[in-house]
Chains A and B, each alone.
Chain A
Amino acid sequence: MTLKTSIALACILFVAGCSAAPGAWGWYVIDPRTTSGYNNIRFLLNGFGATILLSLIAASLSMVIGLLVALPGMSSNRWLRYPSRIYIEFIRAIPLLPMLFWVFYGLPVVLKSIGISVSIDAFWGAIITLAISDSAFTAEIYRAGIQSINKGQTEAAKTVGLNYAQTMRYVVMPQAIKRILPPLANQFIYIVKMSAFASVIGMQELTRRANELVVTEYRPLEIYSLLILEYLVLVLIISFFVRWLERKMGSDESK
């Protein structure tokens, strides 16, 4: 399915490129047989490292923050529940790009005004923004997964003497994880794609490098086509890995 879609997509791009300017099809810009083309490709592919690292760290942080936000959000105590709700509603309402600008340009000023003098570079600015922005969604994923576990399970755990942490660890989470994992993986794919926004604050990842090359070579169609292909390959690999993980953990309840 995904393979067929990608082939179809490649065909459409190729045809569209040919018809736009007859005779001006410029794959030379990333032709590995020429020195400049080879160097251009290397320049573009070198963005993978930053994109992957950025996504991995941001997703890991988001998973931790999301859990820390989700757990009090399910408390019967309103003073634990309300802050969690407010955090989720507030963070979810902020678009990624404005938040990125705010963290990168605004947060250091805020920190400096309270006596903390740190500079936030593009890498960490992007990670903080992606992690926080995404954590509201991961928190909701945890909540949905945990609340889908029958209340009788926690009651039974209480009657055999388990405390809250033990109940979560030994009874609720092992059952909930199978329902949490697929949407969490979806969310990871979302982070990989959103990491492209880091390009606007100068992070040297896939999109930034493509943009820079377009400026010097003026070949947007070819370079952006390759850029899309890069993300496609990355996401397909993640999808494949997630399927494997789901099978291994028995998440697939259909069989």
Chain B
Amino acid sequence: MSNKSKAIEIHALNKWYGSYQALKDINLTVDHGERIVVCGPSGSGKSTLIRCVNSLEVHDSGQIIVDEIEMKDDESIHEIRSEVGMVFQQFNLFPHLTILQNLTLGPIKARGMSKVDAEERAMRYLERVRIPDQAHKKPSELSGGQQQRVAIARSLCMEPKIMLFDEPTSALDPEMISEVLDVIVDLAEDGMTMICVTHEMGFARRAADRMIFMDHGEIIETGKPEEFFEAPKSERCRKFLSQILQH
């Protein structure tokens, strides 16, 4: 792959909800294999930003290019979505399907894989997130941590090049957070390109190549984790970090 090719390029991105501007002139490029952690106070636009990357939110102006595909029409959005996996705060597993069916639905219906191949692949990823024995249960029978790991495996079954995590541990009980973060760190070590919105700063130190701090729809500060945590440049970022790191 050439040096010039980027995983994600975002230029002058703006997004409004009515008269409220959720994203203000965002510029961001992400290299292949890069792991980015986005943090910031609630309402700062961090979720909106990553939801724009796979067009779950439609931006109002600016340019988004994912793996050299420019987002412009339904067809390009469909192509981009097939490159980008996403894990949600609320897991969003399909409650009427078994774990295995959750994992094979996309590969079978969207990719036209055979059931046997899709199930074989699903079991491989379930092993990777360490819950192959739950394959035939319904999501409601699993703990929150297990459900989120299933959600990660479901995304991986589409074999995406980029993973987006939207506060993947915020809805979890404290004792289940690490089992989910371990799986994400695992992925990061394998070279997966990822953007993760999270407040887990210990995880950020372990896994991130670059930190991004957002506030009021803007990227305020960006930097390597060590600099970011030791010597934040902006006052707002310093204040935010002191608030979330003091306990």
Contacts and interface: CB of A to CB of B under 8 A. Distances in A.
B92 A155 contact: yes
A175 B96 contact: yes
Given A161-B158, A174-B96, A175-B95, A155 B88 contact: yes
A180 B151 CA distance: 27
Interface stretch (A129-137, A163-171, A190-198, A240-248): A163-171
Interface residues of A, number: 17
Interface string A156-195: 1111111100100011001100000000000000000000
Interface string B82-110: 10111010101111100000000110011
A150 B92 contact: yes
A155 B111 CA distance: 18
Contacts of A155: 56, 86, 88, 92
Contact of A158 (B81, B96, B157): B81
Contacts of B78: 161, 163
A156 B84 CA distance: 12
A171 B94 contact: yes
Given A153-B94, A156-B94, A170-B105, A161 B82 contact: yes
B96 A159 contact: no
A162 B110 contact: yes
A156 B88 contact: yes
A152 interface: yes
Contacts of B106: 160-162
A162 B105 contact: yes
Contacts of B94: 153, 156-157, 171, 175
A159 B162 CA distance: 12
Interface in B3-38: none
Contact of B155 (A150, A160, A163, A175): A160
B148 interface: no
B46 interface: no
B92 A160 contact: no
Contacts of A166: 109-110
Contact of B110 (A150, A153, A160): A160
Contacts of B154: 156, 160
Contacts of B193: none
Nearest to B87: A159
B159 to A, nearest CB: 11
Interface string A183-218: 000000000000000000000000000000000000
A152 B105 CA distance: 16
B171 to A, nearest CB: 11
B95 A159 contact: no
A167 to B, nearest CB: 10
B54 interface: yes
A161 B110 contact: yes
Nearest to A175: B96
Nearest to B93: A156
A160 B56 contact: no
A152 B90 contact: yes
A152 B82 contact: no
Given A161-B81, A161-B82, A156 B109 contact: no
A44 B56 CA distance: 60
Nearest to A161: B110
A75 to B, nearest CB: 14
Question: Which of A161, A163, A174 has its CB near the most chain B CB atoms (within 10 A)?
Answer: A161
Contacts of A158: 54, 56, 81
Interface string A127-156: 000000000000000000000001011011
B23 to A, nearest CB: 18
Interface string B218-230: 0000000000000
14 contacts: A152-B92, A153-B92, A155-B56, A155-B86, A155-B92, A156-B88, A156-B93, A157-B94, A158-B81, A160-B105, A161-B106, A162-B110, A166-B110, A175-B94
Give the 10 A-B residue pairs with the shortest CB-CB distance, closest first. Answer: A160-B106, A161-B110, A156-B92, A152-B92, A159-B86, A174-B96, A161-B106, A166-B109, A155-B56, A152-B90
